A and B are shown apart, each in its own frame.
Chain A
Amino acid sequence: MSVVHADLHYTKTHEWVKVHGDGTATVGITDHAQEALGDIVFVETPDVGRQVEAGDGCAVVESVKAASDIYAPLAGEVVEVNTALADTPELINESAYGDGWIFTLRIADAGAVDGLLDAAGYQAALDAEA
């Protein structure tokens, strides 16, 4: 049973979003996603300073099974990336919601956060998939 945290927002494509008070948000992939992908062997993070639109493929996570695009859940500017993933991509498997975060965005439109799924909505989406 995969873990879903109540204080995060989610996308149907299995990204999680943690909105901070300063207008930024951190993005990673969910526990369900890391479990489905299996052991992760490579992560390509976006360049800091890159402007992304919601839905843009902006990172790549490669596991022993597949390479998958990670989509920007919100529009904004990439302000920080998790450089530790370059040498230790397994952080995503070990701590999908913590040390395995992928990048942080400065959100272009705070209102867009309301368009994301909450924990209950994401859990419902997972249940529908199962």
Chain B
Amino acid sequence: MGLIGPATSCDPRSTPPNRNKPHMLIHEQSRPGRRAAAQAPLYSAEVSDIPVSARRVAPLVLPEVSELQAVRHYTRLSQKNFSIDTHFYPLGSCTMKYNPRACNTLAMLPGFLARHPAAPDSHGQGLLACLFELQEMLKEVTGMHAVSLAPSAGAQGEFAGVAMIRAYHRARNDGARTEILVPDAAHGTNPASAVMCGFVAREIPTGPNGDVDIAALREAVGPQTAGIMLTNPSTVGVFDRNIQEIAGIVHAAGGLLYYDGANLNAILGKVRPGDMGFDVIHMNLHKTFSTPHGGGGPGAGPVGVSKRLEPFLPVPLVVQDGDDYRWVSEHERPQSIGRLTAFGGNMGILLRAYVYARMLGREGMKRVSEFSTLNANYLMARLKAAGFDAAYPQRRASHEFIITMKRETKELGVNAMDFAKRLLDYGFHAPTTYFPLLVPECLLIEPTETETKEELDDFVAALVAIREEARTNPELVKGAPHTMPVRRLDDVRAARQLDLAWRSTANCT
């Protein structure tokens, strides 16, 4: 255990001592007339065809820095990152697994990179073949009838999924179905997607063992039920054992079942949402299929559907005609909910997921869920043995689990957020804190399949060490982090007094 300890002052992320003030923004280094020739445009753009009224009057305030300053600034910023390439990142519900380099390399083959999105199908058969095969593989592994790769993010996939539920009921002239049921453990995006599609979200409680409260569900369904949105395993980290009964109840009431693919990593290749009775699913390729988690994008959130929802899939889709592949547009799918992007979706992300799926193969996909659940259960067992409280101690974890710091908060006055912040000093990204909301003082921990046992053991040792600090020197934990570029942020001030835009101050530039 002596190996573990907080980062020291020579950590590259901390500010060098010989500087008056760290440059947070590249604008702060700007000096008039300084140039980076390599980044300057070769030609001035012709603007005579832009109406005078729409032309900029004053020059744009851009940072004026040298090439070296630009390189240093962004290199230093990148060194401040906590990322999967540098740290264990057990952020529950986010599936921060390793992104294999091969996926990047192959997605950036010149033939993919150089293809114009408006090029005819005949000039992109290789790309279309990859997309078609990805559709087929996602269909197969989820047990759905058809898949569209069009949605550009998980949230857009959710929107598309619920929009298809709406389109289905409308096509049957069933306007009475105005409600979407959402368990209280759901991701916040679920009720948001339902509301965005014009539905009312109705909450269903979770029982004490983490499963959906069946009696409450029976009471809630009726002719007003358009569908239910479920994540299984759910955000409390357990597999809902009553899923077939839930599917029966909702289907009998005339509603559809929506599967939020957030936790697909737990069941990949083992259980298929289509076999559980789901009618529509979205998949987060950046989670299960290991594409990069960008700062809000680009993403990909393909949707899969059962047979009765197929006509409503978003376009375009790729189909195979004999030996050729081609795009299918709204002309052939008049009932489609339409387009979500100008072209076919986020190609670079779809290609990375395709390469990942091909590298895994069917057997590999099973190993993903086997090792992700093994790692989660190992970590949960070690933490329980170390005296931490699992939120659902009687249940086996799926690919993630919750520990609650309720007792530590009460006895030591050190809460889940304090533990999370102190973990940063120990070189670990914090788990998800205070989500799901129904478990007090919770940490939602998802180790993923790509971590070693040694890394998991170090994480346990860190939590044990922090608990010891909480007993002997609680202020140390409550004041954490101590070694990061910034200390504990003032969440309240950040929320109440937003400061988002840089403005040039007089004489500064």
Contact = CB atoms under 8 A, between A and B. Distances in A.
Interface in A51-74: 62, 64-66, 68
A39 B434 contact: no
Given A65-B434, A66-B434, A41 B440 contact: no
A89 B492 CA distance: 10
A41 B434 contact: no
Dominant secondary structure of chain A at its interface with chain B? loop
B437 A66 contact: yes
Nearest to B435: A66
B499 interface: no
Nearest to A69: B203
A36 interface: yes
Interface residues of A, number: 11
A89 B493 CA distance: 12
Nearest to B188: A67
B308 interface: no
A41 B497 CA distance: 10
Interface in A66-109: 66, 68, 89-90
Interface string B419-447: 00000000000000010010010000000
A90 B496 CA distance: 10
B496 A41 contact: yes
A42 B495 contact: yes
B76 to A, nearest CB: 29
B491 interface: yes
Interface in B390-442: 434, 437, 440
B440 A36 contact: yes
A39 B492 contact: yes
Contacts of B440: 36
A36 B495 CA distance: 18
Interface string B464-505: 000000000000000000000000000110011000000000
A61 to B, nearest CB: 13
B436 to A, nearest CB: 10
Contacts of B491: 39, 41, 64
Interface in A10-48: 36, 39, 41-42
Contacts of A39: 491-492
Contacts of A65: 434, 437
Nearest to A66: B437
Contacts of A36: 440
Contacts of B496: 41-42, 89
A42 B492 CA distance: 10
A64 B492 contact: yes
Nearest to A42: B495
A64 B417 CA distance: 11
Contacts of A64: 491-492, 495
19 contacts: A39-B491, A39-B492, A41-B491, A41-B492, A41-B495, A41-B496, A42-B495, A42-B496, A62-B495, A64-B491, A64-B492, A64-B495, A65-B434, A65-B437, A66-B434, A66-B437, A68-B437, A89-B496, A90-B492
Given A39-B492, A65-B437, 8 more contacts: A39-B491, A41-B491, A41-B492, A42-B495, A62-B495, A64-B492, A65-B434, A90-B492
Q: What are the 6 A-B residue pairs with the smallest beta carbon separation, nearest first? A: A41-B495, A64-B491, A39-B492, A65-B434, A66-B437, A41-B496
Interface of A: 36, 39, 41-42, 62, 64-66, 68, 89-90
